[in-house]
Amino acid sequence: MFVDLVKIYVKAGDGGRGCVSFRREMYVPKGGPDGGDGGKGGNVIVKANPQLNTLLDHRYQQHYYCKDGNDGGGKQKSGHESADVIVWVPVGTLIRDLDTGEVLGDLTEPGQEAIVARGGRGGKGNTFFKTSTNQAPRHAQPGEPGDEKTIQLELKLLADVGLIGLPNAGKSTLISVITSARPKIADYPFTTLVPNLGVVKLANYKSFVVADIPGLIEGASSGAGLGSQFLRHVERTKMLLHLVDVSSLSVEEPVKSFDTINEELRLHNPELMEREMVAVATKIDSLEEPERLENLREHCREVGVPFFAVSSATHDGIDDLLAFVSEKLEKMKAEEAEAKAEADAIAARERRMSEAAAETAPASE
């Protein structure tokens, strides 16, 4: 079962209480206070695990508690800190506080983690409060309570390329041809009920990840159809392959189908329309009306979207499409690396200037 949205309750550990104690030993009169501090409560940490691909586990376990820190003891013994509780989630999980709407973390890298509930600090024992005027304090601090909150875990699949389109546009068939993924394929709408991931492997050890998004329909952005709940997965992709069925078996006009899905993307998130997009006419092996293909080709030329015509059955046009996508992704990755290197260089320069200013400040005074 593919689960990509859950809510869970988390409670960090409370801090242990500080101890009120006095040294009592033979031949040591007025030994003074020796109460130790309480231990810190454990944190609740959400951590990304690349071996997971669904939030199914959290559908059944929805409460996570940390143990409280141990209380302090006599002879200035501090209480033990309690262990942290790790909540494992797939890479690509967004963490949000349900009460405030605050984003607590966005785990896009394996091993990345976010502390979603911090444990309370342990209370100070009476030794801490000893002063020259108060040499026998008879009070200690209670431990601080740990955070508790209800959070939402939202999984957004990480993929280089997302396949979008109306139901039965040929997305599942295409991903089964270009990757080793084996999604369900049938001649009725909404065959795909969950997103499918596959890896395209090309020559020279090049590869990229493709996500097959369940079919969208008009009104998907406002909750219509099955694809509405999966639109979030499109947001992570670097490129969109917009598949349009141009075969004579499709009742929809290709140009109308293309514009319908684009409008749903815009309504869901306007930034998606700035994403790199490639229009892919599918099922050309069943094309009996060439004008359907040409009308779509002309429309894509007018709106400035690269266009390819393919057949997953005969593999016509597949190699050209993959070569184009691979080249585009390589270029995008190079641009991202260049931008990151430039940002790092600027940050390093600012850091050096700040350190130089700090070193010269005392001399100028």
Residue range 229-248, pLDDT digits in tens = 667 777 878 899 999 999 88
Q: Which of 155, 187, 212 is the last residue of a domain?
A: 155
pLDDT of residue 182: 63
Q: Which of 139, 155, 171 is the last residue of a domain?
A: 155
Residue 345 within a domain: no
Residue 349 within a domain: no
Whether 201 and 239 share a structural domain: yes
CATH number for the domain that contains residue 246 = 3.40.50.300
Whether 177 and 136 share a structural domain: no
CATH number for the domain that contains residue 15 = 2.70.210.12
Whether 150 and 249 share a structural domain: no
Whether 31 and 140 share a structural domain: yes
pLDDT of residue 189: 46
Whether 191 and 147 share a structural domain: no
Residue 100 within a domain: yes
Tokens for 8, please give them.
């869970």
Whether 149 and 169 share a structural domain: no
Residue 87 within a domain: yes
Whether 175 and 323 share a structural domain: yes
Q: Which of 135, 155, 175 is the last residue of a domain?
A: 155
Long-range contact list for 52-55, CB < 8 A, 24+ apart?
52/88, 52/89, 52/90, 52/91, 53/90, 53/197, 54/1, 54/2, 54/3, 54/4, 54/90, 54/155, 55/3, 55/4, 55/5, 55/6, 55/89, 55/90, 55/93, 55/153, 55/155
Q: Which residue positions in the chain have pLDDT lower than 70?
A: 1-2, 181-194, 205, 215-230, 361-365
All residues at 6 or more sequence positions from 27 whose CB lies less than 8 Å from its CB, including other chains: none
Residue 353 within a domain: no
Whether 230 and 101 share a structural domain: no
pLDDT of residue 220: 46
Structural domains in the chain (count): 2
| Lookup result for tokens 């506080």 | 97
> Residue 244: exposed, middle, or buried by beta-carbon count in 10 A (0-12, 13-18, 19+)?
buried
Tokens for 219, please give them.
């009104």
Residue 320 within a domain: yes
Whether 175 and 143 share a structural domain: no
pLDDT of residue 185: 52
Whether 48 and 105 share a structural domain: yes
Q: Which domain holds residue 97?
A: 5-155
Whether 230 and 285 share a structural domain: yes
What CA–CA distance (Å, rounded) separates 317 from 246? 14
pLDDT of residue 5: 85
For the stretch 40-85, pLDDT in tens is 999 999 999 988 878 888 988 999 999 999 999 999 999 999 999 9
